[in-house]
Structure 1
Amino acid sequence: MSAPMRDARAFEPDRSALRHIVHKTRGHRGSGPIARLMSPSDLGEVLKPFVFLDLFDMEAAGLRTMMAGMPLHPHSGIATVTVLTEGRMRYDDPENGSGTIGYGGVEWMRAGAGVWHGGEMLVDDVPRLQGFQLWLALPPAVENGTPVSRYVESKDMPRVGPAHVVIGRHENAQSPVPAPDGLNYLLVTLRPGERWTYQPPAGHTVAWLALAKGALSTDSDRVDAGEMAIFEPGNTRIRLEATGSADAVFVLGSAVPHPFPLHLGHYSVHTNATALAAGERRIAELKRQLDAAGDRRTASGTIPVFR
């Protein structure tokens, strides 16, 4: 059950050494394998530039069937970030080569002015797939800019202790993902009983985590698998310990607050109505081009991002 939500924008941070959790949620789950932990119309307003988070978890065979029937869909004004906590997916892109994304790797897509996607990765030969998809609200300089796709495999992702640095800079490690400045996104596994402390960079007053597996204790609360926890604003360190008998596998985000309002379309998030209208016009134009392009499926079966 979710704890009562306090408005993190108005919350006065505790000046002690403790970093308190002000809200926990399991989000919304329909009949399928996806839990919607955050949307732009709810917690995204509090945690922007982090505006959307899904936790997906299902047998790979079922996911293959679901993805086969999933139509391509558009985005603009955001970046999407997909990481896996279990299993692997394959990519095959004329501009980015081919390879495999597993734990510690990432699919990054900056939609910018507009893209259509939905088939750029395929489930590998694994029994189960679990992971997170995150949306980031982009700043005005790039929200209608040129789209960019990147696939970074685990071997190329920097690591500091138990944390893969998916986005941003943590201690002396810089992610290769071309993300906007002012935000970090880490994928972390702690063994049972292992402790870890995260010190957010200066100005990163937004902070949260979402737990895929295991259990964590913090300075003020416990977080269980399937939960997202939001920390009070501030730069105080976050101290975590894996409890129980299983590894704790989670993502953690921190950022400088996004100072712009969220203007929402069906698949888009922009900083103002003019930028949103431009993104939706571009999406419509791309759809006409996509229809004219016909079957773009590669020999391996992937459908590259259309931009």
Structure 2
Amino acid sequence: MTTSNASTTAPRRIARRTRGHDSGGPITRLMSPSDLGQLLKPFVFLDIFSAGGATLRMMEEMPLHPHSGIATVTVFTEGRMRFNDPANGTGTIGYGGVEWMRAGGGVWHGKEMTPDEVPRIQGFQLWLSLPAELENGEPVSRYIEAKDMPQAGPAHVIVGQHAGVHSPVPAPEGINYLLVTLRAGERWTYQPPKGHAVGWLALAKGSLLADGRIEAGEMVVFESGDAAIELEASGATDAVFVLGSAVPHPHPLHLGYYSVHTSAQALANGERRIAELARKLQEAGDRRTESGTIPVFR
């Protein structure tokens, strides 16, 4: 089976590969703002997480933490998580759904979702650096279930637009982020929009051919340009992956521990707001819902 978008140029070649940094727990860091994030901005951070049993409980015990200057995008390749937020309702996020959290000027989060009754969770968390006009703006959270997310062929359009399909996620322009499953033997061509010189993918399951073999757990960076990315699921099982393309972020990255901004002043503003929210969070006391979640604090 073959699905494609027309391409008039030679396919993209792989420029770099990584398996990231495995801390020995449920999370492997594939990209950070201090390494590949410098090359792939506005994509500045990517974790793949995989947990079941005791490691699933480890993820539930992770503490609240702050962010500013970025948006986080969380998708699942296996399992489901429940959300319960007075401002956004209740529901579940599984394959094809997304949690979008634009931190802007500052938030505390980390417990706004809890595992559903599933044996295992796997997925990706991505950070996007925000443009200057949004990096210290009002935070925005969205939980969009799979039934409300659009598809274009084998791809769920998580952020941006692809093949005439638009994501409902309120993301900045010039960024595409897709969650894709190719059946064994299926071929697929992704043609990025004009100007999307940044391109990469990270594979959760299976194997792919794309200017060489890509195995589960790998992230690959494609050479700069907007030529097509040609892929084939080469193993005996389905290949499940995320793929990003974007117009390059034009600003330097100013880094805090949990924050990424376009300038030192914007970073200082974000960190000041985070500290202010920490005091208010302590004053707010126990905010845990009946289902065990703690809504994003903004």
What range is the shorter-chain TM-score in?
over 0.9
> Partners in 2 of 1:67 and 1:216 — Cα distance?
29
AA of the residue aligned to 1:54: D
Contact 1:67/1:119, CA 8 A, preserved across alignment: no
Report what 1:70 is aligned to.
62
Establish whether residue 27 from structure 1 lines up as the match of residue 17 from structure 2.
no
- Superposition pairs for residues 240-279 of structure 1, below 5 Å? 240-279=231-270
Other-structure match for 1:12: none
TM-score normalised over the length of structure 1: 0.93
**SS of alignment partner, residue 133 of structure 2:** helix
Q: Deviations over 1:271-306 (max 9, x none)?
A: 000000000000000000000000000111100000
Output the CA distance in 2 between the equivalents of 1:215 and 1:67: 27
Instruction: Report if aligned partners of 2:88, 2:143 keep a CA contact under 8 Å in 1.
Output: yes
Shift of 1:30: 1.2
Provide Cα deviations, 1:241-267, integer angstroms capped at 9, x if missing partner. 001101000000000000000000010
Residue identity in the other structure for 2:218:
E
Aligned-pair CA distance for 1:16: 5.6
> Deviation at 1:64?
4.1
Q: In structure 2, the residue corresponding to 1:141 is in which secondary structure?
A: coil
Over 3 Å counting, the alpha-carbon distance change for 1:192 and 1:47 in structure 2 is: same
Displaced runs of 4 or more, over 3 A: none
Classify the secondary structure of the residue corresponding to 2:38.
helix
State the shift of 1:63 in Å.
4.2
- The unaligned stretches of length 5 or more in structure 2 are 1-7
* Residues 210 and 226, structure 1, Cα contact 8 Å, conserved in 2: yes
| Residue type at the aligned position of 1:265 | G
- Are 2:271 and 1:280 equivalent residues in the alignment? yes
Matches within 5 A, 1:176-195: 176-195=168-187
1:37 aligns with 2:50: no
C-alpha deviations, 1:36-83, integer Å up to 9, x for none? 000000000000000000001121x32442134321100000000000
Whether the 8 Å contact between 1:157 and 1:176 is mirrored in structure 2 is yes
User: Matches of 1:21 and 1:74 in 2, distance apart?
Assistant: 34
What aligned pairs does 1:194-213 form with structure 2 within 5 A after superposition? Answer: 194-213=186-205
Amino acid at match of 2:132: P
1:229 to 220, 226, 240: 220
Cα distance in 1, alignment partners of residues 289 and 100 from structure 2: 20
> Which residue does the alignment assign to 2:139?
147
Identity of aligned residues (%): 71
Residues 130-176 of structure 1: CA distance to partner in whole angstroms, max 9, x if unpaired? 00000000000000000000001000000000000000000110000
SS at match of 2:138: coil
SS of residue paired to 2:204: strand
